[in-house]
Structure 1
Amino acid sequence: MSTPRFLDLPPGVAPHKIETAQGTFAALEALPVSGVVERWPALLIPGLTGSKEDFIAVLQTLAQSGRRVVAVDLRGQYETPGPDDPGAYTCAALGSDVDLLAQTLNGGDEPMHLVGHSFGGLVAREAVIDGRTKFASLTLMSSGPSAIVGERARNGRALLKEVPVRGLEHVWATKMEPEALANGVPDEIIAFLRKRLLANSPTALSRMAEQTLNAPDRTDELRQIEVPTLVLYGEHDDGWPSDLQSEMATRLGAECVVLPGAAHSPAVEAPETTAAALIRFWNAVESPHLDTWSNAV
């Protein structure tokens, strides 16, 4: 059976397994199709019900800017197994996993850019604040300063209520599949979304939903780290309101980029403009340091 078209991996992108002290993490690794790796690498963290596949549309473009780019499934997500212990899925615990992934991937030899989408932004924020890894930059993609609100908050409360009692199959059949069908999502994508949801650890999904609904505002703590930060979101984002994300950027002293036509998943909905914004930001961060680092190694 052939791979569905939307999951065909672009040239330079391949499945990857990352072996760590916390177990094996499933990943997609992208390398330049032409040229060499000459810029700092990047690690991409997906959202609550997402996975590494959410970044497929941007991976080749990002890598072609001269860097290694790795998108991962967090513990308990899709193709990365996780324990039954709810404590493994707090933002702090998952942030520690991100530290470990970054240190495993680059061996501490060079700075690494970090991108977190939605819930992944809350996790990435923890990895920066805990200070175990000095990241080159942080991008908060469609991710707010504290607990999520609005329709996505209602969806999170439904997950928290229904998954432990009725299971993931019930959530798919009564909520996610009808929404996908109503939105005209192609059959092959619906099949993948079902496979992905059911592969998640129910414990992980419930605990992550709880974390998203109760996240504290750590903006002031993040600002103290003084890591170059980009706040990036679609103009039609239905997660955290635009004004909250814009205000967060101001509090962080961060650059803020609003992507026309995109909603909550810019890497899917506006891949080229998303990739262009990330590359421009990363290159700007690297410019004052790259010659010095190159001479040092």
Structure 2
Amino acid sequence: MSQLLSIDLPECARSVQLDTSRGTFAALDADVPAPATQHGTALLVPGFMGSKEDFLTLIPHLNAGGMRVVAIDGRGQYESGEASASSSYTRDDLALDLVAIVQALDDGPVHLVGHSYGGIAARAAVINTGGDKRLWSSLTLINFGPGAVSTWQQERLRLLLSVIGTMSMADIWPHVKNTEVSVPENVSLFLEKRWLRTSPNQLAAAAEHMLSEQDSSQALARTLVPIAVVSGTPDETWEPTRVEAMAHNLGAQFIRIEGGGHSPNVHKPQETATSLLRFWQQSSKANKVSL
């Protein structure tokens, strides 16, 4: 779970509702103001128990680098709710959601970023579309590993699965909230509100995915989409050694963010943004050469 330190909305971003062929998704949209030149669009996908607010401190740094930045609540997360009458949370359905969002933005191809569990949907979207260059300029996986989460995290997920459906979300909250880091009261209240508005069905499906995820690095590499793997340390969700090994197997650019923890987008936003902007610039040049 991301531990937010602030919920202040950056001046460059606005809250929007994205109407797509797959339903309506809540998002934060930070356009590049004229007369500055837009260098691309980044689509940010949050992780388990997360939301678009996980990227609040990252967005202004990326935007200042000339990027339009769109951060979403996925299906079942916080303000997106079920998004549509279809409440399926299969990997393929989540991947289709991302494709529909890119098409609705009509500003592609995008630099797709999946944080933690968000990497599952992001990776599936790129693989399922064969790395369609009309959709994806690049893929970045932040603190995401090749397969199932660590043994320690598996125990926590199985415990959560054992109570979802038998306990209310309000009763579960005291057992899942992060008490290791002191945060302002408004942040604490927001985290509880976000938890209560998250779909139990989405949480259960996400937990199952993280317990059963298989390494699809070979299929991802075959798409030829430029890839970066970001590893904030220390982290116990996916072991950093496995994350680095995955980057090597993918032929991806590997970026280590010391002190970034599980959420370098929160704890080291400037360093993370600088690394992402550099990678996107390089991948954009590579895409032009390949064309």
Q: Which residue of 2 aligns with 1:48?
A: 48
Give the alignment of 1:210-289 within 5 angstroms: 210-289=208-287
CA-CA distance at 1:85 after TM superposition? 8.7
Deviations 1:236-292 (A, max 9, x none): 022100110011011100010110111101100111101111101001111245699
CA-CA distance at 1:235 after TM superposition? 2.0
Change (3 A) 1:184 1:158: same
Please tell me the residue identity of whatever aligns with 1:141: I
Give the alignment of 1:177-188 within 5 angstroms: 179-180=178-179, 182-188=180-186
Deviations 1:101-152 (A, max 9, x none): 1111126xx4211000001001100000001643110000000101111333
Helix, strand or coil for the counterpart of 1:158? helix
* Matches of 2:145 and 2:290, distance apart in 1: 34
Q: Which residue of 2 aligns with 1:62?
A: 62
* Matches of 1:238 and 1:8, distance apart in 2: 28
* Matches of 1:151 and 1:87, distance apart in 2: 29
Give the conservation status (yes or no) of the 8 Å contact 1:232–1:258: yes
Q: Which residue of 2 aligns with 1:112?
A: 110
Q: In structure 2, list runs of 5 or more residues that go unmatched.
A: none
Q: Which residue of 2 aligns with 1:21?
A: 21
Q: Which residue of 2 aligns with 1:154?
A: 155
Give the conservation status (yes or no) of the 8 Å contact 1:89–1:204: yes
- Decide which structure has greater helix share: 1
Residue 125 (structure 2) pairs with residue 127 (structure 1): yes
Q: In structure 1, list runs of 5 or more residues that go unmatched.
A: none
Give the conservation status (yes or no) of the 8 Å contact 2:75–2:81: yes
* Matches of 1:166 and 1:12, distance apart in 2: 40
* Matches of 1:11 and 1:83, distance apart in 2: 26
* Matches of 2:184 and 2:126, distance apart in 1: 38
Give the conservation status (yes or no) of the 8 Å contact 1:164–1:206: no
Please tell me the residue identity of whatever aligns with 2:48: L
Helix, strand or coil for the counterpart of 1:251? helix
Give the conservation status (yes or no) of the 8 Å contact 1:61–1:275: yes
* Matches of 2:163 and 2:84, distance apart in 1: 17
Helix, strand or coil for the counterpart of 2:165? helix
Q: Which residue of 2 aligns with 1:192?
A: 190
Please tell me the residue identity of whatever aligns with 1:17: Q
Give the conservation status (yes or no) of the 8 Å contact 1:32–1:60: no
* Matches of 2:109 and 2:129, distance apart in 1: 14
TM-score, length of structure 1 as denominator length: 0.89
Please tell me the residue identity of whatever aligns with 1:284: Q
Give the conservation status (yes or no) of the 8 Å contact 2:217–2:250: yes
Change (3 A) 1:84 1:22: closer
* Matches of 1:106 and 1:32, distance apart in 2: 15
Aligned length: 285
Give the conservation status (yes or no) of the 8 Å contact 1:11–1:33: no
Please tell me the residue identity of whatever aligns with 1:168: M
CA-CA distance at 1:67 after TM superposition? 2.0
Q: Which residue of 2 aligns with 1:165?
A: 166
Deviations 1:5-45 (A, max 9, x none): 92221121111110012211000011235643421211000
* Matches of 1:197 and 1:139, distance apart in 2: 26
* Matches of 1:150 and 1:254, distance apart in 2: 25
Identity over the aligned pairs, expressed in percent? 37
Q: Which moved more, 1:93-102 or 1:131-140?
A: 131-140
Give the conservation status (yes or no) of the 8 Å contact 1:116–1:123: yes
Give the conservation status (yes or no) of the 8 Å contact 1:86–1:203: no
CA-CA distance at 1:81 after TM superposition? 1.7
* Matches of 1:83 and 1:163, distance apart in 2: 21
* Matches of 2:62 and 2:84, distance apart in 1: 35
Change (3 A) 1:160 1:130: same
Q: Which moved more, 1:244-253 or 1:32-41?
A: 32-41
Change (3 A) 1:158 1:258: same
* Matches of 1:87 and 1:11, distance apart in 2: 33
